[in-house]
Amino acid sequence: MLVNRLYVSPTDETLSYLSAVMAGSPLDIDLTSFKVEVIATEDALEIDPVRVYEGQTINVNVFYDTYLQRSSMIATLVSADLQERAKELNQEGVVRSFYDWYVPYMVIKRGMPPLSRHFRTWRVSIANALCQNERPLSFTGEHVVQEELAAYPDFDYIQAMAAELQLRHNNG
């Protein structure tokens, strides 16, 4: 299925902050790959490249993806701005291709090695830096990447987050 994926990228200020947080990483981290998907759809999209969105990291963890057959370190974000943009697109008639939930997230590292003690320590330090200081991250530069997908990458992660949100909602 040919899919239009709408992404936003970290602003220069956020990228600078993320670079400082990732300094000394035992892994090769490609900061230029950092992006947050707003929607994946077969529909055409009108973009707003100057719009800026804010979000905060609430979780950093490693998730295995059966489609990609590898683990990725993913930062889960909470962002009223990104949620509102996703809702706007839905109200304009844009239909999601793979799932109904929208969970803003950013992949920090695809192809995570097994979590040795050294890598676990590093993941915890990144999680602490991104989640505990409550510093907002900013994203901008809406752009569309067209991809041929048989299944949605990170679907296992999305399912886990949807289940967690459902659990929180039902217990809240």
Domain boundaries, the chain: 2-167
pLDDT of residue 97: 82
Q: How many CB atoms lie within 10 A of CB 103?
A: 21
Q: For residue 149, is pLDDT > 60?
A: yes
Q: 3-class SS at 139?
A: strand
The answer to whether 75 touches 57, Cβ cutoff 8 Å, is: yes
What is the model's pLDDT at position 141?
Answer: 98
Average pLDDT over residues 18-40: 93
pTM: 0.90
DSSP-based three-state secondary structure for 101 = coil
Instruction: Decide yes or no: CATH 1.10.3470 for domain 2-167.
Output: no
Q: Where are the alpha helices (DSSP H) in 49-154?
A: 80-91, 117-132
Instruction: Report pLDDT for 170.
Output: 63
Q: At what angle do helices 12-22 and 117-132 cross, to 10 degrees?
A: 140
